[in-house]
Amino acid sequence: MDNTEISDRLSELADLLEIRGANPFRIRAYRNAVRTLRGLTRPLSAMVEDGEDLTELQGVGKDMASHIRELLDTGELELLEEVTAEVPRSLAQLVRLDGVGPKKARKLWKELEVTTVDELEVAIEDDRVTALEGFGPKSVEKMARAIRDHRKHQGRFLRTRAAELLAPLLEHMEGVEGIERLEVAGSFRRRAETVGDIDLLALAPPDRAPTIMEHFVSFPDVDRVEMSGETRGTVRLRAGLQVDLRILPESSYGAALHYFTGSKEHNVEIRKRARQQGLKVSEYGVFREEEDGDPVAGATEEEVFQAVGLPWIEPVLREDRGEIRAADEGTLPSLVTLEDIRGDLHMHTTWSDGKDSIADMARACRDRGYAYMSISDHSRAVTVARGLTPERLQEQWEAIEEARSEVEEIRILRSSEVDILGDGTLDFPDEVLAELDLVLVAVHSHFGLDQATQTKRILRALEHPMVDILVHPTGRLLNRREPYPVDVEALLEAALEHDVAVELNANPRRLDLHDRHLFRARELGLRVSVATDAHRTSQLDYMGSGLEQARRGWLEAGHVVNAMTPDAFETWRTRRDHRS
């Protein structure tokens, strides 16, 4: 089992224990351990093999370490089996629905015998849920909306999770003789934020195909083999991810890689262009339209593009947003890279809900080669995250001064993630905002407002003359929570008007903004901050996920605030009258 599977299993156990009515301190211990495990960069299996003491991890005691070893050794957890003998395991899935916590899940189970998402949907339709105490019309509508979201995202994996599941399979395939090249195609290769399945393309001699296919279907994490043919096989991994393998000859490998990378819309436009030149493009190659002979191209993607008169187009751009015209005109963007990034402008520390100190975050940013960074803990309204009062914020400034003297190689900015209140005003008064080096604003409440009200609320915040960046602008959590209703076009236009940057939140569970909104921001000439929203040092590596999303939105270094040189960034930061 990998770290994600172990932490998911322990999180599930915590939910079921809470539904059963276990000691709150015990439940909190499980949740603290889960947070630690999800932040690890090393595999737990490697730590155990190296003889490391797991109890040295924050929040991991002897019992928790024993659970981890049991999961690594057996893939099962005896305590979880014991709890699920009393509490239906499907209730853990109910808890993950927005608006259904452990207490409500227990009430649904005990009073309505509802234990699954399907049963909850029926109970809502039959008006049985609103009859329960504590289940008002608004909360029930929230549950219904969460069920619809659940249906929409069922069977889809975060790209980062798919990458975790795919890595050992790719390593497994490296061990078979005959594969000359192995590529992942599909939406995964286009760096889509979520994927439904995985397409693997192997280049190999035909006589090696049976051995390669046998090796593929024998991967230990395969739950079931859906199909196993001579050159094509499909398996479903234990985590539920479907993987398709195609074994291809050299002559058509590039054409197949282009075809199966997609997108469908991009491929349609390529075929149209080919027909205008008397050519046919398919997964088997590029052919002359009126001939049945050998392909004129197809061994490489470069050949396919060259055959239709185009340079190679990066997979992240293949969404039919004008990339073919840009390639034809020689105006494809020079996409932003990690080497362009000079700082990170959104992160949290132990002063609010972060797990590492200011100095630790500063050292981690310095070690990544950054020139500047922004400490942006929550403001007071976000009580669940230990948001800072103005008094505690001033105390934090003293701690930032200490960190500045301790880590001199990087500039540490005094910032705050200031809550946008229900009426659009900000959580701190102007005299506090004026003392900040950077003002980030965000929505953390009142997600249920209608679109007009929500939009008006955020627009009011953007009009404030001290606001610098609107962070996680739509509030979405991938596969879990849809964006709140808001007119994104109006937000982008207002941000441009008031010289406010918008954030691309790089957390793989957010990737907020969507790439189509980033593309629009680029069209408008709006500046974007690609920021990790890191709550521990290891999460600073989320920058990679954010940049993949930025590249899908056609962003170049010139569009990104934190790709500015220190001098240019300082000029931008002091554009406000109160800082000039």
Query: Using one digit for the tens of pLDDT, what is the confidence trace for 14-39?
Result: 998 888 888 888 888 888 888 888 87
CA 415, 524, 454, 156 torsion-angle sign? negative
What is the C-alpha to C-alpha distance for residues 456 and 458, in angstroms, rounded to an integer? 6
Amino acid 341: pLDDT: 98
Measure the CA dihedral 74/77/81/83, to 10°: 180
Q: Where in the chain is the domain with CATH 3.30.210.10?
A: 253-329
Q: Where in the chain is the domain with CATH 1.10.150.110?
A: 3-153
Amino acid present at 220: P
Backbone φ and ψ of 473, nearest 5°: -60, -25
What is the C-alpha to C-alpha distance for residues 132 and 129, in angstroms, rounded to an integer? 6
Q: Answer yes or no: are the C-beta atoms of 534 and 347 closer than 8 Å.
A: yes
Q: Where in the chain is the domain with CATH 3.30.460.10?
A: 157-248
**Around 110, how many Cα atoms within 13 Å sit in the side-chain half-sphere?**
12
Closest by CA to 321, choosing from 523, 468, 160, 90, is: 523
Q: Answer yes or no: are the C-beta atoms of 517 and 563 closer than 8 Å.
A: no
**Is CATH 3.30.210.10 correct for 253-329?**
yes
H or E element at residue 183: strand 181-184
Max Cα–Cα distance, the chain, nearest Å: 79
**Around 543, how many Cα atoms within 13 Å sit in the side-chain half-sphere?**
26
Amino acid 434: pLDDT: 95
> To which residue do tokens 């899940």 refer?
105
Amino acid 113: pLDDT: 87
- Whole-prediction pTM: 0.83
Q: Where in the chain is the domain with CATH 3.20.20.140?
A: 338-579
Indicate the CATH number for domain 157-248: 3.30.460.10
Q: What is 3-153's CATH topology?
A: DNA polymerase; domain 1 (1.10.150)
Amino acid 263: pLDDT: 96
Task: Domain 338-579: state its class.
Answer: alpha beta
Mean pLDDT by 10 residues, the chain (580 residues): 85 89 87 84 85 87 89 87 88 85 88 87 83 85 84 83 94 91 97 95 94 94 89 91 94 95 96 94 89 85 97 98 97 98 97 94 97 96 88 96 96 97 95 96 92 96 97 92 93 97 96 97 97 95 97 98 97 83
Amino acid present at 147: I
The DSSP symbol for 236 reads E
Amino acid 100: pLDDT: 87
Closest by CA to 442, choosing from 424, 465, 417, is: 417
Annotate 364-399 with DSSP letters as a single string: HHHHTT-SEEEE--BBTT-GGGTPBPHHHHHHHHHH
